[in-house]
Amino acid sequence: MTALKNEIAKILGFEHTNLPLQTKYTVLESAQEDGYIRQLIEYDSCGDKVPAYLLLPEKLDNNPAILINHQHNREHHLGKSEACGLAGNPLQAFGLELSKKGFVVLAPDALCFEKRRENPCVEGFDFWQHFNEVCYRIINGNYMMKKVLEDAMNGITLLSNLPYVNGKKIGTLGHSMGGNTVLFLSALDDRISFSCASGSACTYANRMENNVGIEMASVIPNFHGKYDIDDLVSCVAPRKMLIVSAEDDKYSKDAAYIIETATPAYKEYDATDNLCHKQFRGGHALTQERFDFIVDWITNHSNCVD
C-alpha cells in the first residue's frame, strides 16, 4: 500500500512521509470541568493559527488520544465547541464523552468554521467564504484538502508530543464532513492507529451517479480519474478502522461496497478483523444508538492497540 499512499499524497501536493515533527501551541484559557480540564489553545499549522480545544482527563499517564473532526451541517458558526459539548447537537459531543473515558482530546476548528471565519460572531451558513477558499486554491494549483490535512497532521503531531500521551494509541474520529477528513487523514498518516468515519463512506462514483453533493475539501481535480474512497480505506490497512453508515443516508450509500473493495488490502496483513462496518437504520443524522456504539468502539479498540 506504500506505493498507493505515495501516489495519493502526490496528487494532493505533498509527500505523505513529510509529516511535521513538532507543533507549537499556546494556551489561551483553561477551565476545570467535571472530570477533565478544557484548554482553549491555538496551534501552528503551516503559517496559520488553528483554534482548538484540548481536553485533559484528571489522570494523565500514558493516555490514549484522539483528534475530533467536527461536522459541517450548514452551521459554520459551530466547530470545536460542538465537538466538546459547549454548543449545538449533544450527539456530536464525542470529545466531551471520550475525555471522561480517559482520552486526551484535540478538537480544532476546521477552516471557515467557528473562529476561523471572516465573521465569527454571525450564526449560520457562511457559504461564500468556504466556496472561495476552495476556488482560490484550485486556480493557484492547490487544494483545500491539502490544507485540511496539514491542519490535521499538525494536530496529530501536537498530540504525539505530549508527554502523557501514548504515541501508539492516537486515533481520529469524525461524522459527515469530519468523516471525510478521517478517510483522507487515516490513509496518509501512519501515526493514527484507530479511526472512525461516520456518515461519509460514499464513493465519488456513487455521488455523481445519484446527484449527491461532494464536500468542498473533497473537490480534488483529477483525483477520481484514478482513485476513489475505497483506495483511501485500503491505505489504512492493517490499522483499525470503523465505517458507520445508515440505510437511508445518501452520504454513506455504498459503504458496504467500499468495505468489500478494501478488504483484500486487509487480507494481505491477515487483519480483516481490523476493518469494521456497522450499518444502522435511519438517515444521515447521528442517533443516540450510533453515538454510543462509536464511543464504545473507540474505547475498546484503543485499548487493543499494541
Please count the CA atoms within 13 angstroms of the CA of 250 that sit on its side-chain side: 10
Q: What's the whole-number mean pLDDT along residues 120-146?
A: 85
Question: Over 80: is that where the pLDDT of 224 sits?
Answer: yes
Which of 132-136, 181-185, 215-219, 298-302 has the highest mean predicted lDDT (pLDDT)?
181-185
- Residue 284 pLDDT: 97
Q: Could you tell me the pLDDT band of residue 213, with boundaries at 50, 70 and 90?
A: very high
- pLDDT (0 to 100) of residue 15: 65
Nearest to 33 by CA among 95, 88, 90, 76: 95
Per-residue pLDDT for 35 more than 80? yes
| Per-residue pLDDT at 16 | 52
Mean pLDDT of 45-65: 96
Candidates 265, 268, 244; CA nearest to 256 is 244
* Percentage above 90 pLDDT, the chain: 81
The stretch 138-155 carries a mean pLDDT of: 93
What mean pLDDT is predicted for residues 250-254?
95
Q: Which of 236, 74, 194, 216 has the alpha carbon at shortest distance from 147?
A: 216
Band the pLDDT of 128: cuts 50, 70, 90: confident
**Given pLDDT bands bounded at 50, 70 and 90, which one contains residue 135?**
very high
Q: How confident is residue 127, by pLDDT bands cut at 50, 70 and 90?
A: confident
Q: How far apart are CA 284 and CA 286, in angstroms?
A: 6
120 vs 128: CA distance, rounded Å: 14
> How confident is the model over 185-197, as a mean pLDDT?
96
The domain tally of the chain equals 1
Q: Are the C-beta atoms of 261 and 254 separated by less than 8 Å?
A: no
* pLDDT of the residue at 275: 98
Cβ pair 153, 20 in contact under 8 A: yes
CB 53 within 8 A of CB 38: yes
User: Which range of residues forms the domain containing residue 44?
Assistant: 2-304
Q: Stretch 151-177: mean pLDDT, rounded?
A: 97
Summarize pLDDT for 105-120 with one digit per residue, the tens. 999 999 999 999 887 7
Per-residue pLDDT, averaged over 221-243, amounts to 95
Closest C-alpha among 59, 3, 50 to residue 25: 50
* pLDDT tens track for 1-23: 788 888 998 888 876 556 778 99
The domain that holds 65 is classified in CATH as: 3.40.50.1820
**Angle (nearest 5°) at CA 282 between 203 and 238:** 45
Q: What angle do CA 150, 155, 159 make, to 5 degrees?
A: 150
* Window from 4-18, 174-188, 257-271 with minimum mean pLDDT: 4-18
Task: Pick the more confident residue, 306 or 267.
Answer: 267
Q: Which of 91, 251, 237, 103 is nearest to 164 (CA)?
A: 103
pLDDT at residue 280 above 70? yes
Is 0.75 surpassed by the pTM of this model?
yes
